[in-house]
Structure 1
Amino acid sequence: MLLLYLAATLAVAIGVAHSFLGERYVIQRLGRLENLPRLTLGGRESMLPVLRFAWHITTMAWIGFAAILWLMAHRRLSHESAGAAISATFLVSAAVSGISSRGRHYSWIVFLAIGVIALWQVVG
């Protein structure tokens, strides 16, 4: 069981490092480029927010996996707890996607649907 706690901790740590270092060394540098590609909807100014939320959603997924590992370590992983962790991960992803793209990137709708469906199946 201790190894599951270690795995959960490492998943959170790599997620935090991924977000912090990626923001500092990848996203900010890309934002300074003059020739950043344009998006079909929104143009060049929409590209950086899309890159940013896509980058950080990876971190959120890893933290969601960490929650499942932690539940496994506590021997509390059940249909309900796994569904709740998955639902929370997708609901947070929906919020980040929707807010950072100001609703222009439609992934937030799909993430929201997944989160609500998972939660509905767990609660209902």
Structure 2
Amino acid sequence: MPSALIAAAVLTALLGLAHSWLGEARLIGPLLAPDQRAGLLAKSAFARAILRFAWHLTSVAWWGLAAILAAVALAGPAAAETATLAAIGATLALSGIIVLVTSRGRHLAWPVFLAAAVLAVLPVVA
């Protein structure tokens, strides 16, 4: 069973990589190109930044899911809960940092992501 979970983790991580790379190259980049912008995307750098980081946050979530799959496969039943909570906490923290940096603190999700990250790892560190 652990080999199936590792395979699932690898596929999920590759899915996240392909999503970010191909999405940026074939969808987000062209959509945000100056000659293609219309409406709100033409007027607001903030809206363009939100669209870009929201797209890539999906990949971060998939990488977090891949980390959980790998952690459960490698940790064994006794440590699986700790490994899972650590992976969830890291995923939430990374998401919060991405939102904070990309939006320069203007998007209100970053403190929620970071608070959830701390709360997720409390059982691990307590």
* TM-score normalised over the length of structure 1: 0.89
Is 1:34 aligned to 2:37, yes or no? Answer: yes
Q: Tell me, in whole angstroms, the C-alpha distance in 2 between the residues paired with 1:57 and 1:36.
A: 24
2:47 equivalent in structure 1: 47
Deviation at 1:99, TM superposition (A): 0.5
Greater shift after overlay, 82-91 or 68-77?
68-77
Asked whether the 8 Å contact 1:27–1:48 carries over to 2, the reply is: no
Q: Unaligned 5+ residue runs, structure 2?
A: none
Label 1:99 to 1:16 Cα distance change in 2 as closer, same or farther (>3 A). same
Deviation at 1:36, TM superposition (A): 4.1
Q: Tell me, in whole angstroms, the C-alpha distance in 2 between the residues paired with 1:34 and 1:53.
A: 17
Structure with greater helix share of residues:
2
Q: Tell me, in whole angstroms, the C-alpha distance in 2 between the residues paired with 1:34 and 1:85.
A: 37
Asked whether the 8 Å contact 2:75–2:83 carries over to 1, the reply is: no
CA root-mean-square deviation: 1.5
Q: Tell me, in whole angstroms, the C-alpha distance in 2 between the residues paired with 1:67 and 1:81.
A: 9
Deviation at 1:72, TM superposition (A): 2.0
Count of aligned pairs = 120
Deviation at 1:37, TM superposition (A): 1.8
Q: Tell me, in whole angstroms, the C-alpha distance in 2 between the residues paired with 1:44 and 1:4.
A: 42
Greater shift after overlay, 63-72 or 12-21?
63-72
What secondary structure, in the 3-state scheme, does the structure 2 residue paired with 1:96 have?
helix
Q: Tell me, in whole angstroms, the C-alpha distance in 2 between the residues paired with 1:53 and 1:8.
A: 23
2:18 equivalent in structure 1: 17
* TM-score normalised over the length of structure 2: 0.88
Q: Unaligned 5+ residue runs, structure 1?
A: none
Q: Tell me, in whole angstroms, the C-alpha distance in 2 between the residues paired with 1:20 and 1:83.
A: 28
Q: Percent identity at matched positions?
A: 40
Q: Tell me, in whole angstroms, the C-alpha distance in 2 between the residues paired with 1:51 and 1:34.
A: 12
Q: Tell me, in whole angstroms, the C-alpha distance in 2 between the residues paired with 1:36 and 1:22.
A: 21
- Runs of 4+ in structure 1 off by over 2 angstroms are 75-79
1:92 equivalent in structure 2: 94
Greater shift after overlay, 53-62 or 70-79?
70-79
Label 1:16 to 1:36 Cα distance change in 2 as closer, same or farther (>3 A). farther
Asked whether the 8 Å contact 1:95–1:108 carries over to 2, the reply is: yes
